[in-house]
């Protein structure tokens, strides 16, 4: 097994890997359905375009594991700072996927080790990993290698978020007008009593 940085030429292989991993996770419970909603199989051109975009932004790195010439695993990490006002570096591991046929063969360990070396090379003090909540085996593995729960990530479709926020803002504006009318009426009543 060998590791190397992913290239745009890996787009088709990575789509196949992501698809195999998504299909393998379908039986992971009701939360898996929500996770599956986020997955949409891209065509090879879209995947290549997305990869090119990500490679232009050098804070992102993708490392693939190969068995001969077959892509059997991938890890994706983003360099960032712990907060927008701190220079303390961190690496955010956003994806670790190992083809179901190659699990329990230390592929994830090798990929994470390579990403940890990348974090050290870039002066990162901490490594954070995003792990699907329903992925029990994955969560156990990350706990076993030293990761602690730090935060909860929540997801919503952009259109749904905008609709809900716009509705709340419109409702709040209506409440503001109602309160202004009530204040005016109170002042008028107080003035009439005096």
pLDDT digits (tens, 9 = 90+) for 108-147: 999 999 999 999 999 999 999 998 888 888 899 999 999 9
Q: Could you tell me if 75 and 114 are in contact, meaning their C-beta atoms sit under 8 angstroms apart?
A: yes
Residues 15 and 106 in one domain: yes
Residues 114 and 80 in one domain: yes
Residues 168 and 148 in one domain: no
Residues 190 and 102 in one domain: no
Each residue of 61-119: pLDDT tens digit? 999 999 999 999 999 999 999 888 988 999 999 999 999 999 999 999 999 999 999 99
Q: Which residues contact 50 (CB under 8 A, 6 or more apart)?
A: 42
pLDDT of residue 34: 47
Residues 55 and 126 in one domain: yes
Residues 135 and 163 in one domain: no
Residue 111 lies in domain: 2-154
Q: What CATH number did the domain enclosing 67 receive?
A: 3.40.630.30
Q: How many of the other CB atoms lie within 10 Å of CB of 1?
A: 13
Each residue of 135-186: pLDDT tens digit? 888 899 999 999 999 888 888 888 888 888 887 666 555 566 667 778 888 8
Residues 93 and 185 in one domain: no
For the chain, the domain total comes to 2
Report the distance separating Cα 27 and Cα 91, nearest Å: 30
């Amino acid at each position: 097994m060998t590791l190397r940085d992913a290239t745009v030429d890996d787009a088709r292989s990575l789509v196949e890997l992501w698809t195999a991993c998504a299909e393998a996770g379908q039986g992971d419970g009701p939360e898996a359905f929500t996770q599956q909603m986020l997955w949409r199989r891209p065509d090879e051109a879209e995947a290549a375009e997305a990869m090119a975009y990500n490679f232009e932004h050098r804070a992102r790195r993708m490392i693939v594991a190969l068995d001969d010439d077959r892509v059997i695993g991938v890890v994706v990490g983003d360099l960032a700072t712990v907060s927008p006002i701190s220079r303390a570096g961190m690496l955010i591991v956003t994806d670790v996927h190992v083809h179901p046929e190659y699990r329990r063969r230390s592929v994830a360990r090798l990929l994470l080790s390579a990403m940890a070396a990348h974090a050290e090379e870039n002066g990162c003090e901490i490594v954070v990993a995003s792990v699907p909540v329903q992925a029990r085996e994955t969560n156990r593995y990350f706990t076993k290698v030293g990761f602690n729960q730090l935060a909860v990530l929540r997801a919503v479709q952009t259109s749904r978020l905008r609709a809900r926020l716009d509705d709340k803002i419109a409702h709040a504006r209506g409440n503001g007008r109602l309160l202004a009318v009530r204040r005016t009426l109170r002042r008028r009543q107080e003035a009439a009593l005096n």
